Amino acid sequence: MYKSMTPNLMVENVDETIAFYQGILGFSMMDSASSDKGEVKWAFIQKDEVQLMLQEKENLIEEYPILSTAKLQPSLSLYMMVDDFDQLYEDVKSKHAILKDINVTSYGLTEFAIADNNGYVLTFSKV
């Protein structure tokens, strides 16, 4: 039986990505691993019930060569249901560019979207 799924995002710079998720969205760092040089190569972050792993591009490719790419090109979006939608929108809008403004979808949900510092699309939906 499946219990959970946590996306592991390939990122250019883990420290910069942590700063984005902490500063814009209020995530907390739960765990991390650093290289011998002290650079964070992997991190586990969380906000309420949403969890993400962030892994430095070359480190992730070393682990899974099938993911090899010359340029980081995000090809997925992350969809989050939130119950503080209006407050989140106002908070995010004051700190970061909105990619897609508040809209009602054809399936009846109210959403807005931003892109993180790596280009991953983050869509937030009103519960």
> 36 falls in which pLDDT band (50, 70, 90)?
confident
The CA distance from 56 to 3, in Å, is 26
Residue type at position 120? Y
> 56 falls in which pLDDT band (50, 70, 90)?
very high
Helices (H), the chain: 14-25, 57-63, 85-93
CATH homologous superfamily of 1-69 equals glyoxalase-related enzyme like domain (3.30.1900.10)
Q: Where do the domains of the chain lie?
A: 1-69, 76-127
Measured between alpha carbons, how far apart are the two ends of the chain, in Å?
A: 26
What is the topology classification, in CATH, of domain 76-127? 3.30.720
pTM: 0.94
Q: How far is CA 69 from CA 15, 61, 76, 103, 106, in A?
A: 21, 8, 15, 34, 35
